[in-house]
Structure 1
Amino acid sequence: MTMTPRERLFRWLDGRPVDRNPAWLLFPYSPIGCYVDIHNHAGYRRVFEASKGRAVMLNRRSPHAPLFSPDVVISKETTVEDGAEVTRQRYRYGGAELVSQTRKTSGGVTRKRLLTTDEDLEILLSFPIEQDPTVIDRELEKQMPQYLADRDDFPEDYGAMMLCLGEPIGFLYSNTDLETYAIWSLTHTREVQAFLDNAMVRMRAIYDFALRRNLAEVYFLIGSELASPPLVNRETFQQWIVPYARTLVDDVHAHGQYAIQHYHGQIGEILPDFLTMGADALHTIEEPPIGDCTLEQAFDVVGDQLGLIGCIQYDCFRSMTPQEMTEAVHDQLRQLEGRRFMLSPSAGPYEPDPDDRVIENYLAFLDAACD
Structure 2
Amino acid sequence: MAWRLGGPRLLEEKTLQKRPFGKTGWQVSEIGFGAWAIGGSWGDVSDRDAESALNAALDQGMTFIDTADVYGDGRSERLIARVLKSRGRDGLVVATKAGRKVNPHVSAGYTPAVLERYIDDSLRNLEVDALDVVQLHCPPTEVYYRPEIFEALDKMVVKGKLKSYGVSVENVEQALKALEYPITSVQIIFNMFRLRPIERFFARALEQQVAIIARVPLASGLLTGKLSTQSTFAADDHRQFNRHGEAFDVGETFSGVPYDVGLQAVEELRAISGNVPLAQLALRWILMFDAVTVAIPGAKNAEQAAGNAKAASLPALTDKQMAAVRDTYERLIRPHVHQRW
Which category of TM-score, normalised to the shorter sequence, fits these structures? 0.5 to 0.7
Higher-RCO chain (CA-CA 8 Å, sequence separation at least 6): 2
**Equivalent position to 1:299, from 196, 202, 206:** 202
**Equivalent position to 1:284, from 165, 172, 188:** 188
Percent sequence identity over aligned pairs: 10
Aligned ranges 1:312-331 → 2 under 5 Å: 312-313=217-218, 314=220, 315-319=222-226, 322-331=276-285
Q: Does 1:200 align with 2:112?
A: yes
| Alignment partners' CA distance in 2, 1:149 and 1:202 | 26
Q: Deviations over 1:218-249 (max 9, x none)?
A: 243343x3413xxxxxxx3544xx43541243
**Equivalent position to 1:58, from 47, 59, 65:** 65
Deviation, 1:208, is: 6.6
Deviation, 1:154, is: 5.4
| Alignment partners' CA distance in 2, 1:147 and 1:363 | 17
2:249 corresponds to which residue? none
Q: Deviations over 1:127-159 (max 9, x none)?
A: xxxxxxxxxxxxxxxxxx999867634521362
**Equivalent position to 2:131, from 191, 211, 217:** 217
1:247 counterpart letter in structure 2: E
1:227 corresponds to which residue? 140
What SS does structure 2 have at the residue aligned with 1:221? strand
Given that 1:283 and 1:308 are in contact with CA atoms closer than 8 Å, whether structure 2 keeps it comes out as yes
Structure 1 residues 207 and 291: CA distance shift in structure 2, 3 A: same
Deviation, 1:250, is: 0.9
**Equivalent position to 1:274, from 178, 181, 203:** 178
Q: Which of the two has higher C-alpha Rg?
A: 1
Structure 1 residues 14 and 211: CA distance shift in structure 2, 3 A: farther
Given that 2:176 and 2:201 are in contact with CA atoms closer than 8 Å, whether structure 1 keeps it comes out as no
Deviation, 1:171, is: 1.5
Given that 1:246 and 1:277 are in contact with CA atoms closer than 8 Å, whether structure 2 keeps it comes out as yes
The alignment's C-alpha RMSD in Å is 4.8
Deviation, 1:300, is: 1.3
Structure 1 residues 152 and 261: CA distance shift in structure 2, 3 A: same
Q: Deviations over 1:248-293 (max 9, x none)?
A: 4313432360224222x322x2322211232211112435744742
Q: Does 1:171 align with 2:103?
A: yes
Moved more, 276-285 or 315-324: 315-324
Q: Does 1:159 align with 2:92?
A: yes
Q: TM-score, with normalisation over the residues of structure 1?
A: 0.49
Structure 1 residues 149 and 363: CA distance shift in structure 2, 3 A: closer
Deviation, 1:308, is: 0.3
Structure 1 residues 330 and 59: CA distance shift in structure 2, 3 A: closer
| Alignment partners' CA distance in 2, 1:318 and 1:343 | 18
Q: Deviations over 1:11-65 (max 9, x none)?
A: 52435485x8522121289x63456546434xx67644431241124374639xx
Number of residue pairs aligned between Structure 1 and Structure 2: 243
Deviation, 1:170, is: 2.2
Structure 1 residues 157 and 17: CA distance shift in structure 2, 3 A: closer
**Equivalent position to 1:262, from 161, 168, 173:** 168
2:62 counterpart letter in structure 1: A
1:94 corresponds to which residue? none
Structure 1 residues 205 and 46: CA distance shift in structure 2, 3 A: closer
Q: What stretches of structure 1 of length at least 5 have no aligned partner? A: 64-144, 174-180, 182-191, 229-235
What SS does structure 2 have at the residue aligned with 1:171? coil
What SS does structure 1 have at the residue aligned with 2:187? strand
Structure 1 residues 287 and 160: CA distance shift in structure 2, 3 A: closer
| Alignment partners' CA distance in 2, 1:249 and 1:306 | 17
2:293 counterpart letter in structure 1: F
Q: Does 1:368 align with 2:295?
A: no
2:157 corresponds to which residue? 253
Bigger strand share = 1
Given that 2:223 and 2:282 are in contact with CA atoms closer than 8 Å, whether structure 1 keeps it comes out as no
What SS does structure 1 have at the residue aligned with 2:296? strand
Deviation, 1:331, is: 3.1
Deviation, 1:349, is: 4.7
1:325 counterpart letter in structure 2: A
| Alignment partners' CA distance in 1, 2:16 and 2:153 | 21
1:23 counterpart letter in structure 2: I
Structure 1 residues 7 and 203: CA distance shift in structure 2, 3 A: farther
| Alignment partners' CA distance in 2, 1:166 and 1:151 | 24
Given that 2:187 and 2:214 are in contact with CA atoms closer than 8 Å, whether structure 1 keeps it comes out as yes
Q: TM-score, with normalisation over the residues of structure 2?
A: 0.53
What SS does structure 1 have at the residue aligned with 2:202? helix
| Alignment partners' CA distance in 2, 1:205 and 1:55 | 30
Q: Does 1:310 align with 2:214?
A: yes
| Alignment partners' CA distance in 2, 1:304 and 1:324 | 33
What SS does structure 2 have at the residue aligned with 1:52? helix
Given that 1:38 and 1:48 are in contact with CA atoms closer than 8 Å, whether structure 2 keeps it comes out as no
